[in-house]
A and B are shown apart, each in its own frame.
Chain A
Amino acid sequence: MPTVEKIPVTVLTGFLGAGKTTLLNRILTGTHGRRYAVVINEFGELGVDNDLVIDADEEVFEMNNGCICCTVRGDLIRILGGLMKRGRTFDGIIVETTGLANPAPVAQTFFVDEGVNARTRLDAIVTVVDAKFIAAQLRDSAEAEAQIAFADIVVLNKLDLVSDEARGQAEARIRAINPLARIMPATRSDIDIAQVLQQNAFDLARIVEFDPDFLQSDEHGHTEGVYSASFEVSRPIDMHKFQQWMGTLLQEKGQDLLRTKGILNLEGENRRFAFQAVHMMADGDFVGDWVQDAPRKSRLVFIGRDLNRPQLRRGFEACQVKG
């Protein structure tokens, strides 16, 4: 079958009133020269007349595969399939979730459904956060935490309403939950749209771009709610051991592990191996050569709940070949 370029799908999440609809309107009316199909939940809020705006009822169901956290958006499978019937008449798809939605089912849909996976790709999960109310919203809602945990990009919005100090606190809260997300400061969702769309953030190759600095601030900090744990090892990784350890870990702890990302230096291999998982669903591939003569270190980041750092560290370290 001829390979066709997959259509990028951007998932737009955010707390109620954070500025999601404003951002959506900016994307739809912007002069970026691209045409987007938009799947929304609250019809009528959007002030844009666009024949590619589709009204969806979020319909989440559990897969019959014995995995209780394996929930997917059945409506999205249907709608993405339906949109593909038009042929290539648009450049991308934006899926807006309700303010109270957990992004996991959307992300998992791209792992589970072959049809979706064959024609579209998850480009990025973008979460709009209200800088003023972030603390209260994180306190009141587990979904708010999950939305930040799943984000590839966090739009920190309404900065005109907060002091520099409050802005710093908000950024620290986001970082504590998700050290990998890119934070984009905004007022009235006035970000550069080109910095949000077509990001390939879910592409395994992008995992290489881990910021090495985040490791330093990691070992202390939050142990409540959703937080992250990062590890680095220097000796090459035994792929068989890693697969066994990660497979068991995702089986047993997958419900608490929201996102996992890693870049591995496999024994006897000149290419970097990238790895990512959403709950129990994992994906991995080689993503190009290591930089010559630079140290080859394997890194792993977990974003989740109840992370046992010493245990995870020992597990990862045990995947190394014997020194």
Chain B
Amino acid sequence: MSAAVDIPTLRRDGATLDAPVTGACFNRAGTHAAFAAGDGSLHIAPATGGNWQRVAAHDGAIMAAAPDTDAHGFLTAGDDGRLLRISVTGAITELFSTGGKWIEHVISFAEKSDGLIACAAGKQVHLFDAAGARLKTLATPSTVAGIAFDGKGKRIAAAHYGGASLWFTQSKSDQPRKLDWKGSHIGVALHPAAEALVTSMQENALHGWRLSDAQHMQMTGYPTKCESLGFTRSGKYLASAGADAIVIWPFTGGGPMGKPPLERARLNDTLCTRIACHPKHDIVAAGYSDGTVSVAEITSDRVMLIEAGKGSPVTALAFSPDGAVIAWGTEAGNAEMTRPG
């Protein structure tokens, strides 16, 4: 793992957008990154350098972006109530519309020729097949604050008031498994092998359920709300934002109960605002409230500084599918990428 952070010489590519960056992702082939902006535009950038393309996609802000189920495209969700499929050349297809209610989340899953798309608007999660045909609509007791698939696309989780709901995507019944815990749950992460479900909460804490026996886990000590969390690919660790370091909870050997978290890439008086887990290794990228971006290896103290902060908080962060390129964006509209030289 010693050479895990393989960014020997940093080559940079970037642009300043007219609005805050609200999302960043790569397509599944890893050929292009896409930056979503608060003015409704999507900016598609070749991962190996070259001209960026601006696509006027939504009438309003893009609330979330995700890779499409195919190799090259992207998906965007907007506060104009539309779910769009945007090809790498910028062609737009509307997959779904709520008629105005904000679509705040979109995620996708793809394996071989199969795939799933999910988006959330209000108290509903809409599930689509890889082609974008709607399969079903799942209801939640209050507005959905976050959605996540497991590593196989077998389950989908949604966070809301009073806990989380977990559905089997192929189930004939739309009744979820309800995981209850009082309070407002504002984000969700699902263990890749569905061993655990973890939510972030309004009260600067994480709450988790071990799915084998529904045992509760409470992870506290955050100075602010955790607005970004995710499991590493191996499922051994849960990385989270919300503190002045990346807070990493071990999910090995009985889970995080009774164990202190690891803290990586600490920055004094600066809060981690976004994390992104490496697609293969136990490595986490982190963005901070002053615009700093760094990459940390979980099993060591190795940290690589990618970007010294220019002042504006990091609002979006993503690894390419091979883990070699990092894309991030800031509230001030900076959209940046680094890749191997």
In the complex, A61 has a CB within 8 A of chain B? yes
Of the stretches B1-9, B98-106, B318-326, the one at the interface is B98-106
A63-B203, A82-B79, A87-B39 as given contacts; A55 in contact with B224, CB under 8 Å: no
Contact of A54 among B39, B102, B123, B145 (CB under 8 A): B102
- The one of B102, B143, B183 in contact with A59, judged by C-beta atoms closer than 8 angstroms, is B143
Nearest to B18 among chain A residues (CB) is A87
Contacts of A57 in B (CB 8 A): 122-123, 143
Within 8 A of B (CB), among A90-118: 112-115
Against A, the Cβ 8 Å flags (1 = close, 0 = not) of B221-236 are 0001100000000000
Q: How far is the CB of A314 from chain B (nearest CB, A)?
A: 36
Taking the complex as formed, is B184 at the interface, i.e. its CB lies under 8 A from any CB of chain A?
Answer: yes
Q: Are A85 and B61 in contact (CB under 8 A)?
A: yes
User: What is the chain B residue whose CB lies nearest that of A74?
Assistant: B184
Q: Which residues of A contact B182 (CB under 8 A)?
A: 62, 64
Query: Smallest distance from the beta carbon of B214 to chain A beta carbons, Å?
Result: 19
Instruction: Kindly report which residue of chain A lies nearest to residue B144, judged by CB atoms.
Output: A78
Is the CB of B30 closer than 8 A to any CB of chain A?
Answer: no
1/0 per position for A70-90, CB-CB distance to B under 8 A? 001011011000101111010
A136 at the A/B interface (Cβ < 8 Å)?
no
Tell me which residues across on chain A come within 8 A of B201, comparing CB atoms.
64
Cα distance A114–B289 in the bound complex, in angstroms: 13
Contacts of A65 in B (CB 8 A): 203
B68: Cβ under 8 A from any A Cβ: no
B59, A51: Cβ atoms closer than 8 Å: yes
Tell me whether B67 is interfacial, beta carbon within 8 Å: no
The residue on B at minimum CB distance from A81 is B227
The answer to whether A2 touches B225 (Cβ under 8 A) is no
> How far does the alpha carbon of A112 sit from the alpha carbon of B186 in the complex, in Å?
15
Q: Is B290 an interface residue (CB 8 A)?
A: yes
Chain B residues, CB < 8 A from A61: 161, 183-184, 202
On chain A, the number of residues with a Cβ less than 8 Å from chain B's Cβ atoms is 27
Query: With A64-B183, A114-B224 as given contacts, are A86 and B143 in contact (CB-CB < 8 Å)?
Result: no
Is the CB–CB distance between A82 and B61 below 8 Å?
yes
Asked, given contacts A51-B60, A85-B22, whether A1 binds B143 with beta carbons under 8 Å apart, the answer is no
On whether the beta carbons of A82 and B102 are closer than 8 Å, the reply is yes
**Are B143 and A85 neighbours in the complex by a CB distance under 8 Å?**
no
B20 within 8 A of A: yes
Q: Are B143 and A78 in contact (CB under 8 A)?
A: yes
Of chain B, the residue at the smallest CB distance from A87 is B19
Closest CB-CB distance, B100 to chain A, in whole Å? 7
Contact among B18, B100, B202, B313 for A77, CB-based, below 8 A: B202
User: Does B132 interact with chain A (Cβ within 8 Å)?
Assistant: no
Of residues 107 through 156 on chain B, the ones whose CB sits less than 8 Å from some CB of chain A are 122-123, 142-143, 145
For A86, what are the chain B residues with a Cβ–Cβ distance below 8 Å? 19-20, 38-39, 60-61, 79
Q: A4: shortest Cβ distance to chain B, in Å?
A: 9
Chain B residues with CB below 8 A from A64, complex form? 182-183, 201, 203
* Interfacial chain A residues near B123, Cβ < 8 Å: 57
Q: In B61-78, which residues have CB < 8 Å from any A CB? A: 61-63
A323, B133: Cα distance in complex, Å: 79
| B311 adjacent to chain A (CB < 8 Å) | yes
Q: Which residue of B lies closest to A55 (CB)?
A: B101
Whole-angstrom distance between the Cβ of A73 and the nearest chain B Cβ:
10
The interface residues of chain A lying within 8 Å CB-to-CB of B184 are 61, 74, 77
B81 nearest CB neighbor, chain A only = A55
Complex Cα distance A1/B289, Å?
8
A64-B183, A114-B224 are known contacts. Are A85 and B38 too (CB-CB below 8 A)?
yes
B window 1-60: CB within 8 A of A = 18-20, 22, 38-39, 59-60
Question: Bound complex: CA of A72 vs CA of B20, how far in Å?
Answer: 27
> A residues within 8 A CB of B225?
113-115
**Chain A interface (Cβ < 8 Å from any Cβ of B):** 1-2, 51, 54-55, 57, 59, 61-65, 72, 74-75, 77-78, 82, 84-87, 89, 112-115
- Could you jot down 20 A-B contacts, CB within 8 Å? A1-B290, A1-B311, A1-B312, A55-B100, A62-B183, A63-B183, A63-B202, A63-B203, A64-B203, A74-B143, A75-B143, A78-B104, A78-B143, A82-B79, A82-B102, A85-B38, A85-B63, A86-B39, A89-B19, A115-B225
